[in-house]
Amino acid sequence: MCGIIGVLSTDEGDTARIIRECLKRLEYRGYDSVGIATQYNGKLHIKKDKGKIDDINRKLNFDTLPGNIGIGHTRWATHGEPSRVNSHPHTDCKNRIAMVHNGIVENFIELREQLIEEGHKFQSETDSEVIPHLIENFLDEKDSIEEAVQSALPQLVGTYALAIIEKDSQKIVFARKESPLVIGIGESALYCASDIPAFLPMTNRVIFINDGDLVVLQPADIKMTRIRGQPSPIQIREPVLIDWTAEMAQKGGMPHFMLKEIHEQPKAVQNTLKIRQEEIQHLATLLNDSNNLILTAAGTSYHACLYGGYLFANLARMNVNQVISSEFSEKLGGTITDTSTILAISQSGETSDTLSAVGYAKNHGAKITAITNVMGSSITRAADYFLYTLAGPEIGVAATKTFVVQITTLALLGLTLAEIRGVYDKSEIRQWYNQLMNIPLQIEQIIEKQEDYIKTTADILAQKPNFLFLGRGINTPTAMEGALKLKEISYIHAEAYPAGESKHGPIALVEPEFPVVFIAPSDNTLDRLLGNVMEMKARGARIISVTDNTKIQNLSDYVFSIPQGIAPILTPILNVIPLQLFSYYAAVKRNYNPDKPRNLAKSVTVL
Ligand code: BG6
């Protein structure tokens, strides 16, 4: 998830500054590198580098870029580590065009090989750079830059929002497929950007661009057509007025980043499900080859490790150890050897406890693998092999979408390990894959259908001082994540236990009206869980359940429903969604800011 902008203004000398400020307002979309290109006097002028906008601007001074037409990009790396060459804009071999891209070109490896064979020279490791080279193939034979773009786009597989300028023309060409783009109509400038906040201080008159649209901004004119091969004809739309503040717009009109990120989960999972199977296969093979596999992490990422433990045991009959990273050397000291393999999970890739566990294991000869959401983060340098989740930047301190893409990635790994180890029939594994592909839509439906009800329930229960979260089997980590979310942002004391353990102590806490949250999908643990619900009900507890089961629903005071028929190994990906929303609304009801919880940081870089 990067931020792109294009500006065509009547004001010759100020366009670069305007682009820089627009990028600053898009920095929440990605902040590991930045670049601007302008067109002036038949030449392209480009400045770009790795780092945050303000730091790079101090170094490069973007505002000196000449011309009244330009494009800009703030990056969230997915292919090619953050570096100057991997920063956007990218150009063709002869610097005739410059392009910025937000999205993923899934067939970039094939296209790159083909273009190199044709003699193109590549500067970067990115997927995006294939685009200007593809367009370059048509520049000489086509009458206009937009015609050349039209000819190149059908070769791309994947998602994109693009902005392209050419050294000789007063035009900016935009195209959209699945990644967002919106036009802003200002007094003295036309804008096109990934999101409204970019140009909102200058204008709130916007035109939303649909998937498959191709737009050409030229002085005082906007030409809209469809990308060749797109089914439906162009729909000319009137500008609409947006009554948001810039800050509201960064949150997509939502009051907090956390709520926005909860709503982004269908897209984040969809993107993560596009991780190349070869990469999943490679990591699964490394894990399979180990005879001492340890999953380690901190906070929410540790709950993903616990999910991984249940999953790998169920799907692949693998006995894996899961250790909280701050306890790693204490707990495993002396057992780590060169036959050990570590799978470290960290959304930021910067958590010191996890990096030090990895360092300890590496010093004892272990192979290091990792799952992270931040490209180029420290853990990617410590690991021998790593996978990126594709959730995009997470601003809210409490992890939501990054947890869900972590367990989605583990599910992909688990299914691949099941295939490698031949534990299950191929057709059964295929069925689970198909179910996994449906998860984005099911998350969307849970949020759509139940958000209001979950809010009402949170409003009712938000003043309760204590909660218990109970689950069994693969949903014990889900209960732990639900309890952590509530603690993290609403400061309500919450404990999670394997439900079977509750009668060995925690049940002593329960008295009439004491809220107990059950994670209770219809799986092989249901009958025993029903007994636990009865035990709590017998002591007057308030039962809140996350379930698809009527028996549990009939015993509950509040029910957060999940779809029926989901494979037990996949239910945690859905079950956590209502728990995230519940904790969010409990925090709001208690007048706390869910984005900036007290005493916590997005990534703890001290031991
Ligand atoms: C904490 C965050 O600082 O670190 C948690 O507040 C997070 O949300 C934990 O789960 C681990 O972070 P990471 O980046 O290693 O997954």
420 to 2, 341, 369, 479, 487: CA distances (angstroms): 36, 17, 18, 30, 39
305 lines ligand 1 (CB under 6 A): no
- Candidate from 75-84, 346-355, 431-440, 505-514 with smallest mean pLDDT: 75-84
Catalytic status, residue 602: yes
Please tell me the residue having the least CA distance from ligand 1 atom 7.
Answer: 299
- Tell the burial category of 211 from Cβ atoms under 10 Å away from its Cβ (0-12, 13-18, 19+): middle
Please identify which residue in the block is written with the tokens 């009865």.
Answer: 534
Rounded distance from Cα 349 to ligand 1 centre (Å): 9
- Candidate from 28-37, 244-253, 484-493, 570-579 with smallest mean pLDDT: 244-253
362 vs 247, which has greater pLDDT? 362
pLDDT tens-digit map of 112-150: 999 999 999 999 999 999 999 999 999 988 889 999 999
300 lines ligand 1 (CB under 6 A): yes
Q: How confident is the model at residue 232 (pLDDT cuts 50, 70, 90)?
A: low
* Residue pair 40/22 in contact by the 8 Å Cβ criterion: no
pLDDT score of 7? 97
pLDDT score of 250? 74
Q: How confident is the model at residue 366 (pLDDT cuts 50, 70, 90)?
A: very high
Measured distance between the N- and C-terminal CA atoms of the chain, rounded to whole angstroms: 30
Residue 252 has pLDDT above 90, yes or no: no
pLDDT score of 596? 87
346 lines ligand 1 (CB under 6 A): yes
Give the number of the atom of ligand 1 that is nearest the alpha carbon of residue 353.
15
Residue 229 has pLDDT above 80, yes or no: no
DSSP code per residue over 490-516: H--EEEEEEGGGGGGTGGGG--TT-EE
Residue 248 has pLDDT above 80, yes or no: no
Residue 459 has pLDDT above 90, yes or no: yes
% the chain with pLDDT above 70: 98
Dihedral sign for Cα 239, 240, 244, 249, please: negative
Catalytic status, residue 50: no
pLDDT score of 369? 98
Residue 292 has pLDDT above 80, yes or no: yes
Instruction: Please compute the mean of the pLDDT values over residues 142-170 and round it to a whole number.
Output: 94
Residue in 301, 404, 595, 605 to alter for ligand 1 test, most ligand atoms within 8 A of Cβ: 301
354 lines ligand 1 (CB under 6 A): yes
171 vs 201, which has greater pLDDT? 171
298 to 336, 464, 565, 604, 606: CA distances (angstroms): 19, 27, 32, 10, 13
Catalytic residue selected from 2, 22, 192, 305 = 2
Closest listed residue to residue 57, CA positions, set 27, 97, 85: 27
pTM equals: 0.81
pLDDT tens-digit map of 44-64: 999 999 999 999 999 999 999
Helix axes 571-589, 426-461, angle to 10 degrees: 10
368 vs 202, which has greater pLDDT? 368
Please identify which residue in the block is written with the tokens 């067109």.
Answer: 39
For 336, phi then psi, to 5°, come to -85, 125
Rounded distance from Cα 192 to ligand 1 centre (Å): 35
408 lines ligand 1 (CB under 6 A): no
Rounded distance from Cα 376 to ligand 1 centre (Å): 17
Give the number of the atom of ligand 1 that is nearest the alpha carbon of residue 348.
14
pLDDT score of 326? 96
Please tell me the residue having the least CA distance from ligand 1 atom 9.
Answer: 299
Rounded distance from Cα 445 to ligand 1 centre (Å): 27
Catalytic residue selected from 52, 455, 596, 602 = 602
Residues in the chain: 607
Residue 283 has pLDDT above 70, yes or no: yes
248 vs 472, which has greater pLDDT? 472
- Candidate from 215-229, 324-338, 413-427 with smallest mean pLDDT: 215-229
461: left (phi over 0), alpha (psi -120 to 50) or beta: alpha
| Bridge partner residues of 74 (DSSP) | 3, 34
Residue 240 has pLDDT above 90, yes or no: no
Q: How confident is the model at residue 233 (pLDDT cuts 50, 70, 90)?
A: low
Measured in whole angstroms, how far is the alpha carbon of residue 57 from the centre of its chain? 27
Residue 247 has pLDDT above 80, yes or no: no
pLDDT score of 303? 98
Give the number of the atom of ligand 1 that is nearest the alpha carbon of residue 600.
6
